[in-house]
Amino acid sequence: MRAPIIRSLLFAPANEPRKTGKLGASGADAVVLDLEDAVADDQKAAARGAARQALAALRAERRARGVGPLACVRVNAYDTGLTVEDLRSIACADLDLVVLPKVESPRDLARASQVLDAAEAEAGLQPGAIGIIALVETCAGIAVSADICAAGGRLVSIGFGSGDLGKDIGIPTIRGDLSAAIAYGRAKLVYDARAAGLPRPIDGPHLAVRDLEALEGDCRVARDLGHGGKVCIHPAQVPVANRIFAPDPDEVAFARQVVTEFAAAEARGAAAITVGGVFIDYPIVLKAKSIIALAEELDARTAAAGATGPAQVATAEGAGA
């Protein structure tokens, strides 16, 4: 499976149709029907059927509009005893990715993949059709995140579970600033993911759902550390994440200038020049080309969405509220 570009990963409880019904028009790159933390313990089994119904609705909407988000389901962690049945219940042609929480070893990924192997065969799907996003959200997981990132197989991306990591570290505050405490894991995951050839990780959620200014600052910090996207817990957060984790238009314009001027210099036999006072050689040109390619892919995605009508971003009573 080709690694997806996920700037925004929007969660909603799988068993709340009022919220899941708004996911397709949220503008998010990927949406997650949650069976884990957003669902009460006594409702988790019933939520599996609701997730299947919501997956079918998302796929139907995507077919009708010709564009739409990746459809994901977050299953419960292994320590609940619910994971295997969650995976069996939600594996279908309408599912793109499983979000696997509290991953602490490559074995956790292997166990999930084995269940999906059998479920895909039973459903008549191509082997490996369903990918996995692994959430690393404990100190144990951060300690071996290089091994997790290198596990291969179905793994297509890594998510940083900042909320659970903050709980695991044990600082006694709910509203306090934990950024210093989680900074090591937040940065380490970027290096481990990139060393393994994975896309830049997806940063954890900003919990103050109505403070979009603070969200923007948090997104910028994550982006500058090397993260490629943000977990969103409210639809209003999606446009902010999409904007911050897309290439800056001025940077794209400069990248185009770099490619153009370097090509001219190369034709003259030069491979080291300055553009706007910045030293440019082959590695910088390759980076410029990657920035342009990312911008063009996102522009194409935006154009396709625009052709079907603007996405409707929910208010404070939306999908994730």
Start-to-end C-alpha separation, the chain: 32
**Looking at the DSSP assignment, which residues form a beta bridge with residue 134?**
100, 158
Phi, psi for 205 (deg, rounded to 5): -75, 155
* Sole residue written with tokens 């910090």: 221
pLDDT at residue 312 is higher than 80: no
Q: Are residues 184 and 226 both part of a single domain?
A: yes
d(CA 106, CA 160): 16
Domain that holds residue 290: 249-295
Q: What is the DSSP letter of 198?
A: P
- Of 207, 226, 244, the residue at which a domain comes to its end is 244
Q: What is the mean pLDDT of the chain?
A: 93
Would you say 316 and 23 are in contact if contact means Cβ atoms under 8 Å apart? no
Q: Are residues 183 and 264 both part of a single domain?
A: no
pLDDT at residue 315 is higher than 50: no
**Looking at the DSSP assignment, which residues form a beta bridge with residue 136?**
160
Domain total for the chain? Answer: 2
* Sole residue written with tokens 């937040």: 186
Report angle CA 303, 305, 309 to the nearest 5 degrees: 110
d(CA 308, CA 306): 5
Would you say 266 and 255 are in contact if contact means Cβ atoms under 8 Å apart? no
Q: Are residues 138 and 15 both part of a single domain?
A: yes
Of the pLDDT bands very low, low, confident and very high (cuts 50, 70, 90), residue 307 is low
Would you say 285 and 257 are in contact if contact means Cβ atoms under 8 Å apart? no
* pLDDT (0 to 100) of residue 316: 30
Q: Which of 137, 158, 219 is nearest to 4 (CA)?
A: 158
* In-domain check, residue 261: yes
* Sole residue written with tokens 């990918």: 131
Helices 83-90 and 106-123: crossing angle, nearest 10°? 40
Q: Are residues 189 and 123 both part of a single domain?
A: yes
How buried is 53 (Cβ within 10 angstroms: 0-12 exposed, 13-18 middle, 19+ buried)? middle
Give the domain CATH number at 42: 3.20.20.60
* Sole residue written with tokens 């910045």: 278
Q: Are residues 86 and 195 both part of a single domain?
A: yes
* pLDDT (0 to 100) of residue 317: 34
Q: Count H helices and E strands in the chain, helices first.
A: 12, 10
pLDDT at residue 306 is higher than 80: no
**Looking at the DSSP assignment, which residues form a beta bridge with residue 13?**
34
Whole-Å CA distances, 60 to 9, 20, 253, 292 = 20, 14, 37, 32
Q: Are residues 180 and 255 both part of a single domain?
A: no
* In-domain check, residue 316: no
* In-domain check, residue 123: yes
Query: Whole-prediction pTM value?
Result: 0.91
Would you say 281 and 233 are in contact if contact means Cβ atoms under 8 Å apart? no
Residues 6+ apart with CB under 8 A from 82: 35, 44, 45, 75, 76
* In-domain check, residue 304: no
Q: Which of 97, 93, 242, 205 is nearest to 156 (CA)?
A: 97
Q: Are residues 76 and 158 both part of a single domain?
A: yes
Report angle CA 236, 239, 240 to the nearest 5 degrees: 90
pLDDT tens sequence across 147-200: 999 999 999 999 999 999 999 999 888 888 889 999 999 999 999 999 999 999
* In-domain check, residue 179: yes
pLDDT at residue 52 is higher than 90: yes
Residues 6+ apart with CB under 8 A from 321: 19, 209, 234, 314
The better pLDDT of the pair 264, 67 is held by 264
pLDDT at residue 102 is higher than 50: yes
* pLDDT (0 to 100) of residue 87: 98
In one-letter notation, the amino acid at residue 57 is A
